[in-house]
């Protein structure tokens, strides 16, 4: 007689939950996937997919406005009335591959409803008790709104509601200057929305290199976006944002809509985690390096576990959590290879330490940079940008790219970093010409020349030949 209904019960069907379900199923385990909304989670319905569709539409619109730079004359009239229909169509296209039947055809059971724990081996969904040997909590996060008056008004949008709009507003205030706020601000502005960004600090994209965030700021300003720094919000009233400046009350003129992108909070409501002994705080479920919670047969993965809230990290954790549910020898998470891309135009990609962080961590670092202005393909495409690679001895400890195709270029550096291959090894590789990837070889050449100039034998020969 079976002891449990399922080997693995996964609560939440976003990136982490989907990956975990496929992994468990791939190892011939009986898997249940529980989701109270639609499968796909935030990424499919209110994150990666709709935002990139909107960004693509905005990029095409912007490209038309720059045709004169290529000596092309085109008369046009901008009409974005149906752009949100396009965004919704892309979401639906992706969701077609994530509907319950596609999982059930693989042998993964799917149940729609809210799950709450009765004990460490039992949950209740829609009044039905379900038992499992192991559980993976992958319920994700939701927008965290600042505690100010009027934040619950009809003017307010978050990433969960903005893509439900039928038409774009004429004006929008964007509160928050992280990746979500900046990506959407630029896209909306390019589609004809008058955009103001409000941030409480003095720098947008504060996790990036200072030089990188400054370049993006200059681009946004050049495209007509207003950026207001060190803003202390007080209240929102009839689309008007009231703020405090050196003790004096001020306000920003009425916006048709206001997008709030100021952080995230964990989705833990009514799950009875405290009752069964699962530890959590206001930001996340607390896990060890094997993604186990304080209850050993219950794991957490994805945004709900942190520390990095990206879809690719959710997939990474989803695999590890499922693996550890199955095998006695547990895998550990390794965050030394974390990378991310912010899909502004131009794109920004980031691995490891910034230059400032690396200087604090190591006594001796080498920084190699190359600009797109020395790259023939970028010149023909009229693109600007740069690549920076930060090394300690021969090891890559950080890399930063701003420019066209940054999100693709970063993976070559990621591979070098992961397998401890010095960047100088790319110096004698043959790269196709003209390509953006050739900029990695150019940096490799600089590192190789640096190596030669500091080589004792080379130094000796130079001294003899003087």
Where is the binding site for NAD(+), in residues? Answer: 176-183, 263
Q: Are 158 and 135 in contact (CB under 8 A)?
A: no
- Hunting for tokens 């100039």 — which residue is that? 453
In whole angstroms, how far apart are CA 276 and each of 17, 291, 333?
Answer: 21, 17, 25
Which contiguous run of DSSP H or E holds residue 212? helix 210-222
Residues contacting residue 284 through CB under 8 Å, at least 6 positions apart: 266, 300, 304, 305, 306, 307
Number of H helices, E strands in the chain: 14, 22
The residues facing 11 across adjacent strands are 34, 137
| Residue 25 and residue 107 in contact, taking contact as beta carbons nearer than 8 Å | yes
Question: Tokens 């190789």, residue?
Answer: 448
Whole-angstrom Cα distance, residue 402 to residue 211? Answer: 10
Quote the crossing angle between the two packed helices 15-26 and 311-326, to the nearest 10°: 30
Distances in Å between the Cα of 460 and the Cα atoms of 445, 446, 451, 457 are 22, 21, 14, 5
Q: Helices 210-222 and 179-190: crossing angle, nearest 10°?
A: 20
Is 378:409 a contact under the CB 8 Å cutoff?
no
Q: Is the dihedral of CA 360, 361, 364, 369 positive or negative?
A: negative
**Pairing state between β 156-157 and 122-125:** unpaired
Among candidates 336, 340, 357, 341, which has minimal Cα distance to 289?
A: 336
In contact, 293 and 287? CB cutoff 8 Å: yes
Q: What is the DSSP letter of 253?
A: P
Residues of the binding site: 52, 176-183, 263, 303
Q: Scan for tokens 């990837």, then name that residue.
A: 437
C-alpha to C-alpha distance for 255 and 57, rounded to whole angstroms: 23
* Strands 194-198, 226-228: pairing kind: parallel
Name the binding residues for FAD.
Answer: 52, 303
| Beta-carbon contacts of residue 453 (< 8 Å; ≥ 6 apart) | 459
Taking the C-alpha atoms of residue 224 and residue 219, their distance in angstroms, rounded to an integer, is 9
Bridge partner list, 242: 235, 251
């Amino acid at each position: 007689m079976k002891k449990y209904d399922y080997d693995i019960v996964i609560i939440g069907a976003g990136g982490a939950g989907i990956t975990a379900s496929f992994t468990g199923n791939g190892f011939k385990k009986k898997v249940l996937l529980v989701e109270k909304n639609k499968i796909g989670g935030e990424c499919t319905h209110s994150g990666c997919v709709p935002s990139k569709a909107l960004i693509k539409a905005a990029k095409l619109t912007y490209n038309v406005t720059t045709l004169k730079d290529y000596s092309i004359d085109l008369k046009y009239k901008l009409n974005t009335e149906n752009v949100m229909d396009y965004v919704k169509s892309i979401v639906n296209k992706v969701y077609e591959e994530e509907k319950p039947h596609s999982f059930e055809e693989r042998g993964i059971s799917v149940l729609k409803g809210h799950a709450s724990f009765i004990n460490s081996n039992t949950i209740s969904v829609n009044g039905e008790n379900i038992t499992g040997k192991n559980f993976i909590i992958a319920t994700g996060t939701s927008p965290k709104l600042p505690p100010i008056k009027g934040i619950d008004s009809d003017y307010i949008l978050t990433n969960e509601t903005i893509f439900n709009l039928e038409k774009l507003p004429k004006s929008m205030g964007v509160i928050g200057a992280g990746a979500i706020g900046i990506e959407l601000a630029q896209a909306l502005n390019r589609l004809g929305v008058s955009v103001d960004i409000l941030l409480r600090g003095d720098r947008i994209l504060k996790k990036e290199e200072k030089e990188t965030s400054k370049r993006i700021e200059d681009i946004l300003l050049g495209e007509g976006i207003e950026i207001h720094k060190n803003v202390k919000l007080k209240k929102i009233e009839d689309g008007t944002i009231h703020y405090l400046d050196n003790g004096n009350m001020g306000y920003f003129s009425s916006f048709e809509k206001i997008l709030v992108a100021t952080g995230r909070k964990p989705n833990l409501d009514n799950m009875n985690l405290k009752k069964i002994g699962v530890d959590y705080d206001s930001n996340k479920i607390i896990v060890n390096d094997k993604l186990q919670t304080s209850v050993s047969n219950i794991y957490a993965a994805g945004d709900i576990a942190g520390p990095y809230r990206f879809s690719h990290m959710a997939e990474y954790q989803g695999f590890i959590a499922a693996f550890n549910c199955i095998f006695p020898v547990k895998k550990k998470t390794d965050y030394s290879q974390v990378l991310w891309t912010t899909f502004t135009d131009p794109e920004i990609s980031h691995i490891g330490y910034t230059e400032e962080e690396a200087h604090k961590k190591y006594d001796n670092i080498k920084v190699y940079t190359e600009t797109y202005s020395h790259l023939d393909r970028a010149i023909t495409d009229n693109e600007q940008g740069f690549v920076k690679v930060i090394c300690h001895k021969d090891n890559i400890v950080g890399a930063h790219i701003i420019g066209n195709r940054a999100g693709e270029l970063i993976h070559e550096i990621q591979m070098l970093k992961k397998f401890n291959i010095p960047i100088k090894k790319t110096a004698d590789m043959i790269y196709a010409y003209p390509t953006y990837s050739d900029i990695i070889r150019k940096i490799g050449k600089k590192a190789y020349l640096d190596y030669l100039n500091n080589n004792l034998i080379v130094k000796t020969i130079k001294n003899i030949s003087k």
